[in-house]
């Protein structure tokens, strides 16, 4: 079992994060701390814990963002499964035992955990409980305990109203990642987890989920998520949309089209593409895989922003599956 923890300027939270790993009821794990060019005391904390526990190792690298840190962790990992943990979060004492038990019980490629609403301890600035609950949709909706029907699995994993499009709080079979090149796209610094999930969904043959919380979300003012950089967002959405559309397959095509359309709508509504040529380019990327009727509806929606047209377009996508 390999727990991969990207670390960047996380000195306020890192000890609690590592302590939650060391305290696991499941003992057969390795923790890979990827220090991504931190400028604070994070490196010293990582090295402190390496001295305390031989199951922990640290990799120091120049800053390259969370995607490159996770990719290095995947390459270094030796476990059958990988688990991504953010350095400003913690896991429950039975997290790995619960998820790994389900993985072995169902021979699962992917096991999803649940989120706690908040975690209170020194060093955290915690979001309001309701905000965290709203973000943690897995908390609100029951997931199937296990699935082996690949159509159902892909439909579920492409539905971010049920599965959060984040890499953490799930076990993923490492060999599946390696065999299918399921690495994070290092071209982008934001939305990389959204893109990663669309690729992972193509290859999961057996799925399981845990019915109790396993992961405590925190709030780090220094994280990329909390510092919106317009240039990064523009680049992220561009690569996200282009890569999603370029890698459509016929299996649950409607759900893939819906996700690409949603990404386009999010980008346009955020006002990221005032450049008309770039705006037209992204719209054309989405249009390129639509049929005539779908493109008419998309054109009408972009002209009128009538939500009924959007719902009809999504229904047509689903009917074709």
pLDDT at 308: 95
Average pLDDT over residues 138-145: 68
- Say how far apart CA 292 and CA 163 lie, in whole Å: 31
Q: Is the dihedral of CA 242, 246, 248, 250 positive or negative?
A: positive
Q: Of all residues in the chain, what percent carry a pLDDT higher than 70?
A: 87
pLDDT at 124: 39
Angle at 137 between CA 8 and CA 167, to 5 degrees: 35
Given a cut of 70, whether residue 78 has pLDDT beyond it is: yes
Q: What is the DSSP annotation of 62-124?
A: ----HHHHHHHHHHH--SSEEEE--TT-EE-TTHHHHHHHHHHHHT-SEEEEEEES----TT-
CATH second-level architecture of 2-223?
Alpha-Beta Complex (3.90)
Give 157: exposed, middle or buried? Use CB within 10 Å, 0-12, 13-18, 19+.
buried
Mean pLDDT taken over the chain = 88
189 or 313: which leads in pLDDT: 313
141 or 66: which leads in pLDDT: 66
- Tens digits of residue pLDDT in 231-279: 777 778 889 999 999 999 989 999 999 999 999 998 888 776 667 888 8
- Tens digits of residue pLDDT in 85-133: 999 999 999 999 999 999 999 999 999 999 875 544 444 344 433 334 4
Asked if residues 216 and 90 have their Cβ atoms less than 8 Å apart, the reply is yes
Question: Which segment, 19-33, 110-124, 139-153, 306-320, is predicted with the most confidence on average?
Answer: 19-33
Residue corresponding to tokens 């009128």: 304
- Structural domain spans, the chain: 2-223, 230-319
CA nearest neighbour of 300 among 317, 318, 289, 312 = 312
- Tens digits of residue pLDDT in 205-228: 999 999 999 999 876 555 545 455
Q: What's the whole-model pTM score?
A: 0.88
pLDDT at 121: 42
Angle at 109 between CA 104 and CA 114, to 5 degrees: 80
């Amino acid at each position: 079992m390999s727990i991969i923890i990207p670390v960047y300027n996380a000195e306020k939270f890192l000890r609690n994060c590592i302590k939650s790993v060391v305290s696991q009821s499941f003992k057969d794990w390795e923790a890979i701390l990827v220090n991504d060019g931190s400028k604070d005391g994070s490196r010293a904390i990582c090295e402190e814990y390496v001295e305390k526990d031989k199951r922990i190792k640290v990799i120091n690298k120049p800053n390259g963002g969370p995607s490159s840190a996770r990719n290095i962790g995947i390459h270094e990992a030796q476990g059958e499964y990988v688990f991504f943990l953010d350095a400003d979060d913690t896991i429950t004492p039975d997290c790995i035992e619960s998820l790994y038990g389900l993985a072995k019980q169902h021979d699962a490629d992917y096991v999803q955990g649940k989120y706690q609403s908040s975690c209170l301890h020194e060093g955290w600035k915690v979001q309001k409980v309701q905000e965290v609950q709203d973000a943690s949709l897995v908390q609100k909706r029951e997931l199937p305990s296990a699935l082996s029907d690949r159509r159902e699995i892909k439909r579920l994993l492409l539905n971010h109203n049920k599965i959060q499009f984040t890499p953490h709080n799930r076990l993923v079979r490492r060999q599946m990642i390696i065999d299918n090149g399921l690495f994070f796209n290092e071209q982008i610094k934001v939305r990389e987890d959204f893109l990663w999930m669309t690729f992972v969904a193509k290859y999961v043959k057996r799925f399981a989920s845990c019915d109790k919380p396993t992961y405590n979300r925190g709030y780090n003012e220094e994280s990329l998520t909390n510092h919106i950089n317009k240039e990064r967002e523009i680049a992220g959405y561009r690569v996200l949309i282009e890569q999603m559309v370029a890698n459509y397959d016929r299996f649950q095509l409607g759900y893939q089209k819906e996700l690409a359309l949603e990404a386009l709508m999010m980008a346009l509504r955020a006002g990221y593409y005032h450049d008309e040529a770039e705006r037209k380019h992204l719209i054309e990327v989405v249009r390129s895989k639509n049929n005539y009727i779908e493109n008419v509806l998309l054109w009408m929606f972009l002209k009128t922003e009538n939500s009924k047209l959007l719902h009809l377009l999504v229904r047509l996508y689903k009917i074709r599956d």
